[in-house]
């Protein structure tokens, strides 16, 4: 990522669609075409794994699988596996700018089941090749999802004891009982990866690279933890001993209690980090560039006793550091890596990032505290090996962030950007990022469109109204495209 370039952060889920959520269909290809016209070289997406309770892409049922919601239904109609009227008889939500996850959960799998029942995937050589290439995770994931639906969506810790503890007899009995349903989940993964592969090839052919985002941790309610329990800090009942989060900071008095089980790094190291190796290999097939969320947790991580109600009672512990980054680098096979180095970044984190050579992140929303020595201000960047963002999926939109401030608080902002009103701020911040020495600059689509906090993607430590924003058809206009193109040309991106 050493050349000067620009990109857009736009989740697959946020693409326009008639059927409730963005997909890998025609709107995704149209978006690639728009990026090309805008002079963009990167499309960054949020994690594309299947989402669990709370609908967060950072809490997935699998670190390897793709989200069945993203399978484009219109392509399945073209393949003769569905009829348009079968799709349209369901209610996919009333608001095209919003995602109704409850309706998706109730309806999407019914529709996909119809396609599965009509498909002849078992006679497709590509299907069997796919299963063979993904054997490390596909059988366990499909079995896990079949069990989850059989037990009405309950997390695996609430399944019957023999199954929870993975007793051989129980495993064999349920594999036989749920054989057809297991095949359905494999079909969904085959279909997702077929559609993803076509889209990625189209983007790459037009010189657009896909940046993927992988969470450092995995969800407790996941195939990974149920299948590989020995690699996590679980007690003899398979319940978490310690969980992940971050300590109190300027954004939260209680810190953030994520609840993900922590890795048993000693056990991981004994296996030569095999699970991580396989995860990175899989991610390298999906993405051209891999952003590792919460990278600092590889060096030192906040460990919170599972019984705590907030993150306050946690403590810092040492992570695997360079032992793991060496495995990641080798497994990613030349794919670029971005280290998400936000949060409490100590000298040990900085040293590891320097050794890897991976770029870190600069957030322009964090830059304007009125102090000219703020490290997020572009004039303080030491070199171009970094990625500049206006904000991330966890932040307010640029308009929402700055418009809530008093005029007196914005005096430094106006002076720095050479503007005189709040309304000018979003475009001026985008220009600032483009003109910086950073090799890469990426802005959220919401900020390019100049939207307020109604379009905010996520409010950390809350559940229910996050991950729902969708772009309306035609909302990304020629005017926006022309602005980005002009900035690319003006600042050699």
Could you give the CA distance from residue 26 to residue 61 in angstroms, rounded to a whole number?
27
**Percentage of the chain with pLDDT > 70?**
100
The whole-angstrom separation of Cα 209 and Cα 241 is 40
Q: Which residues pair with 212 in a beta bridge?
A: 290
Report the sign of the C-alpha dihedral through residues 476, 482, 362, 299, in that order: positive
Give me the sign of the Cα torsion angle 284, 20, 392, 475: positive
Task: Of 124, 125, 123, 86, give the one whose Cα is nearest residue 108.
Answer: 86
Catalytic site includes residue 95: no
pLDDT in tens, 115-133: 999 999 999 999 999 999 9
pLDDT of 1: 83
Q: Quote the crossing angle between the two packed helices 168-177 and 179-205, to the nearest 10°.
A: 80
Which of the following CATH numbers is that of domain 5-212+352-490: 2.115.10.20, 3.40.50.720, 3.40.50.11690, 3.20.20.80?
3.20.20.80
Tell me the pLDDT tens digit for each residue of 40-58.
Answer: 999 999 999 999 878 999 9
Digit-coded pLDDT (tens) for 398-450: 999 999 999 989 999 999 999 999 999 999 999 999 999 999 999 999 999 99
Clarify whether 394 is annotated catalytic: yes
Helices then strands, counting H and E runs in the chain, come out as 19, 12
340 is catalytic: yes
Annotated catalytic residue within 72, 293, 336, 427: 293
- Decide: 337 and 358 in contact? Cβ < 8 Å: yes
Of 474, 291, 485, which is closest to residue 389 (Cα–Cα)?
Answer: 291
Cβ atoms of 343 and 296 within 8 Å: the answer is: yes
pLDDT of residue 331: 97
Q: Which distant-in-sequence residues (6+ apart) come within 8 Å of 212 by Cβ? A: 44, 45, 47, 48, 283, 286, 287, 289, 290, 291
Which one of 74, 98, 162, 394 is the catalytic residue? 394
User: Does an H or E element contain 181, and which?
Assistant: helix 179-205
For residues 474 and 26, give the distance between their C-alpha atoms in angstroms, rounded to a whole number: 14
Q: Where are the domains of the chain?
A: 5-212+352-490
pTM (predicted TM-score) = 0.96
Tell me phi and psi for residue 290, to 5 degrees.
Answer: -115, 120
CB 50 within 8 A of CB 68: yes
pLDDT on residue 461: 75
Reported as a single tens digit per residue, the pLDDT across 223-281 is 999 999 999 999 999 999 999 999 988 778 889 899 999 999 999 999 999 999 999 99
* Cβ-Cβ contacts under 8 Å for 421 (sequence gap 6 or more): none
Catalytic residue among 213, 288, 340, 341: 340
């Amino acid at each position: 990522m050493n050349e000067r370039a620009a990109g857009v952060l736009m989740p697959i889920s946020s693409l326009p669609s008639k059927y409730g959520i963005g997909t890998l269909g025609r709107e995704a290809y149209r978006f690639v075409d728009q990026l090309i016209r805008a002079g963009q070289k990167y499309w960054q997406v949020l994690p594309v794994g299947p989402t669990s309770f709370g609908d967060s892409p950072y809490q997935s049922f699998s670190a390897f699988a793709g989200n069945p919601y993203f399978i484009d239904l219109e392509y399945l109609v073209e393949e003769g596996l569905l009829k348009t009227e079968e799709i349209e008889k369901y209610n996919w939500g009333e608001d095209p700018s919003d995602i109704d996850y409850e309706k998706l959960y109730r309806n999407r799998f019914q529709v996909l089941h119809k396609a599965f029942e009509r498909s002849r995937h078992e006679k497709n050589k590509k299907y069997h090749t796919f299963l063979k290439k993904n054997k490390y995770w596909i059988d366990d994931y499909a079995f896990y999802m079949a069990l989850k639906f059989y037990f009405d969506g309950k997390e695996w810790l609430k399944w019957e004891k023999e199954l929870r503890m993975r007793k051989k007899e129980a495993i064999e009995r349920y594999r036989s009982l749920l054989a057809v349903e297991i095949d359905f989940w494999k079909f969904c993964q085959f279909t997702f990866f077929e559609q993803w592969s076509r889209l990625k090839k189209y983007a790459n052919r037009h010189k657009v690279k896909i940046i993927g985002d992988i969470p450092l941790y995995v969800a407790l309610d996941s195939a990974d933890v149920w299948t590989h329990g020995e690699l996590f800090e679980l007690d003899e009942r398979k319940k978490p001993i310690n969980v992940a989060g971050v300590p109190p900071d300027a954004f939260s008095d209680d810190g953030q209690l994520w609840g993900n089980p922590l890795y048993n790094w000693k056990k991981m190291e004994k296996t030569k980090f095999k699970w991580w190796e396989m995860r990175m290999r899989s991610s390298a097939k999906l993405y051209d560039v891999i952003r590792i969320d919460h990278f600092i947790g590889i060096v030192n991580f906040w460990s919170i006793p599972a019984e705590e109600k907030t993150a306050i009672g946690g403590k810092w512990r040492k992570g695997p550091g360079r032992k793991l980054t060496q495995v990641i680098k080798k497994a990613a096979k030349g794919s670029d890596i971005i280290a998400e180095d936000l949060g409490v970044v100590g000298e040990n984190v900085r040293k590891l990032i320097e050794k890897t050579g991976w770029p870190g992140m600069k957030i322009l929303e964090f830059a304007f505290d009125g102090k000219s020595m703020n490290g997020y201000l572009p004039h303080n960047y030491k070199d171009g090996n970094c990625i500049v963002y206006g904000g991330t999926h966890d932040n307010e939109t640029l308009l929402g962030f700055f418009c809530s401030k008093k005029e007196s608080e914005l005096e430094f902002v106006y002076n720095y950007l050479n503007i005189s009103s709040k309304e000018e701020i979003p475009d001026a911040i985008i220009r600032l990022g483009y003109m910086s020495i950073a090799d890469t600059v990426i802005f959220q689509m919401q900020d390019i469109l100049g939207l307020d906090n109604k379009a905010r993607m996520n409010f950390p430590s809350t559940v229910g109204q996050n991950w729902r924003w969708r772009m309306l058809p035609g909302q990304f206009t020629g005017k926006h495209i022309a602005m980005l193109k002009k900035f690319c040309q003006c600042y050699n991106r």
